[in-house]
Copies of this chain bind each other. A is one copy, B any other.
Amino acid sequence: MASLINTAISTSHELSNGTPAMRATSGEPDKSTSSTPAPARSSKRYRHTFAVHSVGRASCLSHDAPTTPSFLGFRNLMALVLIVSNLRLMIENFKKYGVLICIRCHDYRRQDVVYGSILYFLVPCHLFVAYIIELAAAQQAKGALARTKRADADQDKPGQQRKEQDEFRAAWYLIAFAHGINATLNLVIATVVVYYYIHHPGIGTLCELHAVIVWLKTCSYAFTNRDLRLSLLHPSDSDPVPELYKSCPYPQNITLRNLTYFWWAPTLVYQPVYPRTSHIRWMFVAKRCAEVVGLSIVIWIASAQYAAPLLQNSLGTISSLDIPSILERLMKLSTISLFCWLAGFFALFQSFLNALAEVTRFGDREFYGDWWNSSGVRGYWTSWNKPVFHFMKRHIYAPLVGRGFSPTAAQIMTFLFSGVLHELLVGVPTHNILGEQQYEPTIYVALIADHHTGVAFAGMVFQLPLIFITDPLAKMKGINGKLIGNLIFWISFCLVGQPLAALLYFFAWHARYGSASKPQLWR
């Protein structure tokens, strides 16, 4: 009988000549990691009978499932779809407009370059004026210290002490007044020149940015040295000067060499001594410089080829007050402005500042935090631009709180100050502060231009309610609060944040004065 069945098997079925060792590899093939069905290779005789459904299992997307599966693959898909859909828009753009990029046809006036060069050499002079003021103040402080020692030696001369007190106070006011005049002059001269004499918004922005940076450095230099002078004349054990400064105590730091280092160092906060690296890695500098050049070209292409025709197309739509159309335009604008902003952020804060820090052997490279993960608007403002954040905290927020202001009031004042700086940096080079119109504009352009006056300032001030709204979200337990906070941050960043505002400013300029490039193919 056994032979009968074996014959039947051999006709309809394969020969069952598997060794026990081969059979041991079979079993539940669907329990393997599903990459290869190799276990079924064994020559099991009753192959069609194995129990595929042997235990109860839940679908991995069900709530019943013991673990949530990873969605890493969908992240990859999202990145892919984003790249593909933007490639598609690039093809669409190319078909519509052709190549808009033109190097030779960029148009700037000779006057702009002349005034820009003058400002470039004039602005740092104020830093050296501040140095001369501090040199005099240090001399005065050294004299006061010597007199104090003498006074401690021969006690009880009230008339003498009274006189010295008056002298000291007079010198104190004089120094503060001199610094104030010097710093204010810097900012006023640069702003007037940029606003009235520099037509090109790019050159204007560079000049204004340079002036604001040097102004902040001058302020930090004056404030820090004032407090260092105080701590020299009136040392306090409970509140010592930081350990780091011991290698260069107060009057020794007032040297031209020390100031020149601060002038070039990638920070806005003056310290007599900074953490330094041991040597310059030139390869590192070369890579960072290549990144700056590459990203600048990318941003230039993106704005000339994509942002410019888009904004031109949008002007009419936005003025038509047709809500779906305006939303559609805003969404398209925010994507390109976001891209330019992110590329610009990387070029400036990662590549350029790191290259500068490497050349100056500056140790503390924390120019930004991981602001993209911030679970609220506050987290963004305290981490995206650390140099400015450090300045604001050390020289504005902390002193205000020390003088008795509440932290909220101090924050509001910090943001108002920041708003004024932003308005200076964006409104002045685009000549949008006063809302005047030099050329005859179309009705659309006038509408846009009028609405832009003070956008940067308003944008900064608008951050305050956003901060107070998102603060509770960031403190919420669990992942949801953080996720919602992060989404609110991104939406506010993309729609009311800097990218769009900055772009709108530049293109309001563009719409009012015409293109900086001559051939306007897309008109």
Q: Which residues of B contact A382 (CB under 8 A)?
A: 34-35, 37
Q: Which residues of B contact A50 (CB under 8 A)?
A: 242, 394
Is the Cβ of A331 less than 8 Å from the Cβ of B394? no
Binding-face segment, A109-117, A181-189, A268-276, A444-452: A268-276
A314 within 8 A of B: no
A478 within 8 A of B: no
A426-469 residues with Cβ-Cβ distance < 8 A to B are none
Min CB distance A476 to B, Å, is 13
Known: A85-B85, A368-B60. A91 touches B393 (CB 8 A): no
* Residue in B43, B95, B372 whose beta carbon sits within 8 Å of that of A74 in the complex: B372
Is the Cβ of A88 less than 8 Å from the Cβ of B40? no
Who on chain B is nearest to A268 by CB? B52
* Residue in B36, B49, B373 whose beta carbon sits within 8 Å of that of A227 in the complex: B49
A140 within 8 A of B: no
Q: Which residues of B contact A238 (CB under 8 A)?
A: 20, 23
Who on chain B is nearest to A404 by CB? B14
In the assembled complex, the Cα of A397 lies from the Cα of B34 at a distance in Å of: 14
Known: A239-B45, A241-B46, A402-B14. A77 touches B228 (CB 8 A): no
A contacts with B: majority SS: helix
Q: Which residues of B contact A490 (CB under 8 A)?
A: 73, 76-77, 80
A166-202: CB near B (< 8 Å → 1, else 0) gives 0011001100100000000000000000000000000
Q: Which residues of B contact A334 (CB under 8 A)?
A: 84
Who on chain B is nearest to A87 by CB? B331
A256 within 8 A of B: no
In the assembled complex, the Cα of A362 lies from the Cα of B57 at a distance in Å of: 10
In the assembled complex, the Cα of A72 lies from the Cα of B489 at a distance in Å of: 13
A521 within 8 A of B: no
A332 within 8 A of B: yes
In the assembled complex, the Cα of A176 lies from the Cα of B483 at a distance in Å of: 60
A47-99 residues with Cβ-Cβ distance < 8 A to B are 47-62, 64, 69-82, 84-85, 87-88, 91-92, 94-95
In the assembled complex, the Cα of A35 lies from the Cα of B129 at a distance in Å of: 37
Binding-face segment, A120-128, A320-328, A506-514: A320-328
In the assembled complex, the Cα of A354 lies from the Cα of B9 at a distance in Å of: 39
Who on chain B is nearest to A367 by CB? B59
Is the Cβ of B399 less than 8 Å from the Cβ of A369? no
Binding-face segment, A229-237, A295-303, A416-424: A229-237
Q: Range of interface residues on chain A? A: 35 or more
Known: A74-B372, A75-B75, A95-B324. A81 touches B335 (CB 8 A): yes
A517 within 8 A of B: no
A337-354 residues with Cβ-Cβ distance < 8 A to B are 338, 346, 349-350, 353-354
Who on chain B is nearest to A401 by CB? B41
Q: Which residues of B contact A5 (CB under 8 A)?
A: 168, 230, 233-234
Min CB distance A47 to B, Å, is 5
Is the Cβ of A49 less than 8 Å from the Cβ of B242? yes
A154 within 8 A of B: no
Min CB distance A261 to B, Å, is 12
A282 within 8 A of B: no
Q: Which residues of B contact A244 (CB under 8 A)?
A: 51, 54
Please list 28 pairs of residues, one from A and one from B, whose beta carbons are closer than 8 Å in the complex, sorted by A's number.
Answer: A3-B165, A8-B169, A12-B176, A12-B226, A14-B402, A14-B403, A14-B404, A23-B238, A29-B398, A34-B379, A34-B383, A35-B474, A46-B231, A46-B241, A48-B226, A49-B224, A52-B364, A54-B242, A56-B277, A57-B365, A58-B365, A59-B365, A59-B368, A62-B354, A80-B487, A80-B491, A81-B82, A85-B85
For the A-B complex with A47-B398, A91-B325 known, give 4 more contacts whose Cβ atoms are closer than 8 Å: A1-B161, A35-B379, A51-B244, A95-B328
